[in-house]
Amino acid sequence: MEVNQIANTANTGSNTNTSSSSAISSDFDTFLQMLTAQMQYQDPLNPIESTDFATQLATFSNVEQAVLTNDLLKELTAQMNFSGLADMAAWVGKEARAAAPAYFDGEPLTLAPNPPALAESAEIIVRNENGQVVQQFAVSPTPEAVSWAGVGPGGEPFSPGQYTFELVSRADDEILSEDLVEVYSDVTEVRMTEGQTVLILKGGAAVPSSQVTALRDPA
């Protein structure tokens, strides 16, 4: 995120606080008018106790402080989020490992399968953007990194695009698990979406930063 965007967001928060303060001031004026009218038209034979007026004023004051406190907390939260976003900007240009679709452009992709400890055999199923299976190949039933070259049986390269990798683990010819394989992908952008930091990977896939399990310099 650019500096001017952060500044604009900060200005927006400042404007929101100003609007809240103006609204509170207006409400307080209205409250005083109502309180004055209440005193003016009270029953002279059964006047309202002064303590009741004090209670009403104290109640309004508590509401006013609660609103101001909420505005302050929102502003502090926004500042913390953007501070974290600035720190996450260092991830741009790195390779993040996550269970998400990866963009293939002719360069090999590093896969990080993690089969169960009881697995006796494992197989990776590759699907294209349309969900069609384009390749299946056996891998070691161990958490060893696998380099996927993206070529067919005849050595022809697959078309550029997003590919998803699924690991099918077996024992005694029975399926133990079917899990998405974590893949290293280039981080091209960091965004703040609904209070959550999201990484945009090469090809457009979006992954919450909490789902990233490893980070490295480009191979």
pLDDT single digits (tens) 22-33: 555 566 666 667
Query: Could you tell me the pTM of the whole model?
Result: 0.62
pLDDT band at residue 9 under the 50/70/90 scheme: very low
Which CATH architecture describes the domain 96-184? Sandwich (2.60)
**CB atoms closer than 10 angstroms to residue 106:** 11
Spell out the domain ranges in the chain. 3-90, 96-184
Handedness of CA 91, 96, 102, 103 (dihedral sign): positive
Please give the torsion angle defined by the CA atoms of residues 98, 104, 110 and 111, in that order, rounded to the nearest 10 degrees.
60
**Residue found under tokens 């907390």:** 73
Number of Cβ within a 10 Å radius of residue 203: 19
How does the average pLDDT of the chain come out, rounded?
Answer: 79
Q: Which residue intervals of 41-157 are DSSP H helices?
A: 50-88
CB 116 within 8 A of CB 176: yes
